[in-house]
Amino acid sequence: MTCYFLLVRSYVVIELKTTEFRPEYIGKLNFYLSAIDKYVKKDNDNPTFGILLCKNKKKVTVDLALKDINKPIGVSEYKILSEIPEYLTNTLPSLEDIEKRLEETIKN
């Protein structure tokens, strides 16, 4: 996913992996950053940066994979929760609301 971070005037490429970190993920993300910088970014934009989210990561492996990369890339882990935290349940739409919105979208 690519988005534009207006506050820092920069494109952001976010990649979500369902596996643990692999060094080759950095090369692929670096490729995406280069493509955005060459074909999408304007002269007045700051350099594109990347965020890689993986199921697990080993710091030593990540450090070695990023060692000679000259683009801003961050790597982090994510955790999947079996239940939605209570403080979020009131802010998310119910299943019925989602189904209703989908039906309305299909009709239009």
Q: Which residues contact 93 (CB under 8 A, 6 or more apart)?
A: 101
Rounded Cα gap, residues 8 and 73, in angstroms = 15
Q: What is the CA radius of gyration of the chain?
A: 18
**Residues in a beta bridge with 91:** none
pLDDT score for 103 = 86
108 residues of the chain, pLDDT tens digit each: 888 988 889 999 999 999 999 999 999 999 999 999 999 999 999 999 999 999 999 999 999 999 999 999 999 998 888 887 888 877 888 888 888 888 888 887
pTM recorded for the entire structure: 0.71
Q: What is the CATH number of domain 2-80?
A: 3.30.160
What is the DSSP secondary structure assignment for residue 55, as one 8-state letter? Answer: S
